[in-house]
Structure 1
Amino acid sequence: MKIPASEFILNDDGSIYHLNLRPEDIANTIITVGDPDRVETVSKYFDSVELKKGKREFVTHTGYLNGKRISVISTGIGTDNIDIVFNELDALVNIDFETKAVKSNLQQLDIIRIGTTGSLQPEIKVDDFLMSEYAVGFDSLLHFYKSEHIQHKEIQEEIVKHTQWFKEKSTPYVVKFNESLGKQLLSKNVHLGFTATNVGFYGPQSRKLRLDTQDPLLNDKLASFDFNGLKITNLEMETAGIYGLSNLLGHRAVSMNCILANRPNKNFSKNPTSATEKLIQYTLEKISNF
């Protein structure tokens, strides 16, 4: 069945609306970064770059590393942007741009987020690497989709109970990484964690400048949460949306995080650029050996 033009929107050159990409522009392995400037920080390690495109905050480079074709794309910040990027990435491989219909044989993408984050646990130090095994989303993105079958309801309910969750906020949802892809990226140098995805950087992450927060103890409550040994380890702004949509769309996704801030220890990385670049190098080495 043909998808209406109002739903599947293309530019005049036949590219997908926001990302400005055509199906041949992306690889099956995709790295996402938040910052558009970080795209080149990743692609400079490629042996060759065949494509550079950009529109708004969405910048894409596609090239080769050790014979493997890889794309790196910036998402911007937040799960609202993740909704755009992941639906359009899926459309690039699973919708026929000529007939405007969903393909009968669906393609699976490997998607690896390389991002920065703040630790909630004192033993997870600045400049450490962390892979998100689980993520809890404090946004409402996944609730707009039929998604209950991928949500971990028991953990969600315990988070609501433990934090005395304010009923006016969106109900938290818990989703999981792709285990097989995670095994390919994990090593003894990487913490395995449970990531909280927030809807903002300041108040939603309990930072106070001039505005009071609704629950000043929220970070402490998150840090003390324990579900059969599963503790919330860090805060960022995209991972839960990435895991939710990837699970629903049938793609494999893993979020790799560089710890730049330790909230309980109240310190910040002395060289965040170098620390993040080391995570990029680590991840690329793992990907090139898939």
Structure 2
Amino acid sequence: MQKITRTTTSSSSTLKDGVSTQTTHVETTTTFKPIPATKTQESPLGSSVKETKQPAVSSVPASKNKTPMKFTDANFPLGEDGRTYHVGTKLGETANKIITVGDPARAELIAKHLDADVVPIKVQSKRGYLTITGAYKGTRVSIVAIGMGMSMMDFFVREVRAVVEGPMDIIRFGSCGSISDHIKVGTMAVASEGSISVTRNFDFFTGADATEPYLISQRVEADADLSASLVQKLNEFVGSGKVSTGLNVTADSFYCSQARKDVRFPDANSDLLASVHARYPSAVTLEMESFMLLHLAKCSGRTAPGNGATVEPELSIRAAATTMIFADRLGGAFITPEQVEELEVSAGKACLEALVSTA
């Protein structure tokens, strides 16, 4: 891991008791970039796998280490061998093309589609992340289970970006609730219009002078090419009558910010879904991760905040999201275990196809 430090210096003058005093202000910003790969090393998955300049690695999971790992640098903790603090991977253990899921069992199920002649690398971290890296149709891919919520997605995107060299493609394959009359349980939805976030406004409940109980963000876009590929492959493998598109809504809570009722807490969310639809009529799905993925993908490698900032190509991320409809939040229906198993198999393969076919 390379540490890059940028220092900005500015000066100001003050006049006190007739004496001019000069003050110098120094602001230091530290960023991290992946260690350059050694070009002479072959892929850890074999010479027939399409590689993205990753060095050779051991296949021993991080959790197998007997000695507790010593971490350095409180700003961005890394182990002595370069492993990240939460995801637990180091340079070479994660591919540039990734499918991220919540459930580790779903990651293992999707991994059954990987090329049989390539032995996968598996890394299980102490923080609950599971990374499986192998190949699909000769292209190196990773499947990473991250658990639930925007914080877990934040850990994942930032720490994987820190140990992967070059541009990345990430597809989220998760589950959600439908907040649309025409999207039913047991089908798939692609966030082709991107995502918005809904977060609890804490000051409304325990502070003062706040007028809105929930904060609704502006829209962040998904990658158009990756989303189009997802729609095409899902139609092919799941069925054209079972794939919808629209705007995703990502909440910071399973309960209050998703308008669920809990008599033990005054959540003030009776009108929340109506407020979302009033501002964004095309909102169709509700879950807890996609916005953070798409948001960080747009921010990765930018030289400054804002849409007009330039992006460093080697740090760019393209991201898209698709979800299984587990719950009908308007009608109350819930998916069956049989429907889940069928979708995980067919949609999982569609995600792999979309990932490796998008140039």
The TM-score by the shorter chain falls in which range?
0.7 to 0.9
Displacement of 1:139: 3.7
Q: Using a 3 Å threshold, how does the CA distance of structure 1 residues 263 and 16 change in structure 2: closer, same or farther? A: same
Q: Using a 3 Å threshold, how does the CA distance of structure 1 residues 63 and 225 change in structure 2: closer, same or farther? A: same
The reply to whether residue 238 of structure 1 matches residue 289 of structure 2 is yes
Matches within 5 A, 1:76-91: 76-91=147-162
Give the counterpart of 1:217 among 250, 264, 271.
271
Q: For 1:53, what is the secondary structure of its paired residue?
A: strand
Task: Kindly tell me the number of residue pairs found equivalent between the two proteins.
Answer: 251
Displacement of 1:195: 0.7
State the AA in 2 paired with 1:219: L
State the AA in 1 paired with 2:294: Y
State the AA in 2 paired with 1:137: S
Q: Using a 3 Å threshold, how does the CA distance of structure 1 residues 248 and 92 change in structure 2: closer, same or farther? A: same
Displacement of 1:21: 0.9
| Aligned counterparts of 1:166 and 1:254: Cα–Cα separation in 2 | 34
Indicate the residue corresponding to 2:212 in structure 1.
Answer: 167
Indicate the residue corresponding to 2:261 in structure 1.
Answer: 208
Query: What is the root-mean-square deviation in Å for CA atoms of aligned residues?
Result: 2.2
Structure 2 residues without counterparts, runs of 5 or longer? 6-29, 32-72, 201-209, 301-315
Q: Using a 3 Å threshold, how does the CA distance of structure 1 residues 30 and 64 change in structure 2: closer, same or farther? A: same
Displacement of 1:23: 1.4
| Aligned counterparts of 1:22 and 1:82: Cα–Cα separation in 2 | 18
Displacement of 1:185: 1.7
Out of 185-194 and 240-249, give the one that drifted further: 185-194
Give the counterpart of 1:31 among 99, 111, 127.
99
Give the counterpart of 2:176 among 103, 106, 117.
117
Q: Using a 3 Å threshold, how does the CA distance of structure 1 residues 245 and 50 change in structure 2: closer, same or farther? A: same
| Aligned counterparts of 2:199 and 2:160: Cα–Cα separation in 1 | 21
Indicate the residue corresponding to 1:8 in structure 2.
Answer: 76
Indicate the residue corresponding to 2:68 in structure 1.
Answer: none
Displacement of 1:57: 1.3
| Aligned counterparts of 1:88 and 1:139: Cα–Cα separation in 2 | 24
Give the counterpart of 1:180 among 209, 225, 232.
225
Displacement of 1:196: 0.7
Indicate the residue corresponding to 1:253 in structure 2.
Answer: 319
Q: Check conservation: 2:214, 2:257, Cα contact below 8 A.
A: no
Q: Check conservation: 1:225, 1:232, Cα contact below 8 A.
A: no
State the AA in 1 paired with 2:101: V
State the AA in 1 paired with 2:121: L
Out of 11-20 and 76-85, give the one that drifted further: 11-20
| Aligned counterparts of 1:45 and 1:110: Cα–Cα separation in 2 | 19
| Aligned counterparts of 1:62 and 1:78: Cα–Cα separation in 2 | 23
State the AA in 2 paired with 1:206: A
Indicate the residue corresponding to 2:330 in structure 1.
Answer: 264
| Aligned counterparts of 1:123 and 1:167: Cα–Cα separation in 2 | 29
| Aligned counterparts of 2:142 and 2:75: Cα–Cα separation in 1 | 25
Indicate the residue corresponding to 1:22 in structure 2.
Answer: 90
Give the counterpart of 2:248 among 183, 195, 199.
195
Give the TM-score, by structure 2 length.
Answer: 0.65
Q: For 1:20, what is the secondary structure of its paired residue?
A: coil
Q: Check conservation: 1:79, 1:139, Cα contact below 8 A.
A: no
Q: Higher helix proportion, which one?
A: 1
State the AA in 2 paired with 1:258: M
Q: Using a 3 Å threshold, how does the CA distance of structure 1 residues 289 and 45 change in structure 2: closer, same or farther? A: same
Indicate the residue corresponding to 1:273 in structure 2.
Answer: 341
State the AA in 1 paired with 2:321: S
Which structure is higher in RCO with an 8 Å CA cutoff and minimum separation 6?
A: 1
Displacement of 1:220: 3.4
State the AA in 1 paired with 2:217: P
Task: Work out the percentage of aligned pairs sharing the same amino acid.
Answer: 28
Q: Using a 3 Å threshold, how does the CA distance of structure 1 residues 166 and 126 change in structure 2: closer, same or farther? A: farther
Structure 1 residues without counterparts, runs of 5 or longer? 95-106, 141-164
Displacement of 1:16: 1.7
| Aligned counterparts of 1:226 and 1:202: Cα–Cα separation in 2 | 21
Displacement of 1:209: 4.3
Q: Check conservation: 1:197, 1:236, Cα contact below 8 A.
A: yes
Q: Using a 3 Å threshold, how does the CA distance of structure 1 residues 123 and 10 change in structure 2: closer, same or farther? A: same
State the AA in 2 paired with 1:22: K
Q: Deviations over 1:74-109 (max 9, x none)?
A: 121111111111111111125xxxxxxxxxxxx210
State the AA in 2 paired with 1:266: G
Query: Greater Rg, structure 1 or structure 2?
Result: 2
